[in-house]
Amino acid sequence: MIAVDGFAAGDLPADEVAEPDLDGGGASTFSTDVFDLDGDGHYETTVRATDAGITVATDIDGDGVTDKFTAFGRDGQYRTWEIFREANGIGRGEMIEFGEL
């Protein structure tokens, strides 16, 4: 079972959100793919497959920092966070969606 429950939405550091520790023990990454889903020439979406599941990180505004992050577990559960950077530079995540595929 994937430990997405281990994600504390309040303390996701934006700089590290692209490589979350999904199982708490250091999931090994099998593949990383980048996509330009909206076709503007900027590859804003990073998809990583690990032994814990698949994560999708999207940098919507192209500033190099992930804005939206979704984790899909092997059990079919998914959760999406929106990442904010506060004035003091600290990233913060807020869960905006979750469910089962």
Q: Is 56 in the site for Ca ion (CB under 5 A)?
A: no
Of 9-17, 35-43, 48-56, 91-99, which part binds Ca ion (CB under 5 A)? 35-43
Which residue, 23 or 44, is less far from Ca ion as judged by CB? 44
Could you say which of 5, 11, 51, 61 contacts Ca ion (CB under 5 A)?
Answer: 61
Q: Is 35 in the site for Ca ion (CB under 5 A)?
A: no
Could you give the strand order of the β-sheet that contains 45-50, starting from the edge strand earlier in sequence? 29-35, 45-50, 53-58, 68-73, 77-85, 91-100
Q: Which amino acid is at 39?
A: G
CA dist., res. 79 & res. 96, Å (int): 8
Query: What is the 8-class DSSP label of residue 20?
Result: -
Which residue, 40 or 100, is less far from Ca ion as judged by CB? 40
Of 20-28, 36-44, 49-57, 84-92, which part binds Ca ion (CB under 5 A)? 36-44
Task: List, in sequence order, every residue forming a beta bridge with 31; answer none if it has no partner.
Answer: 49
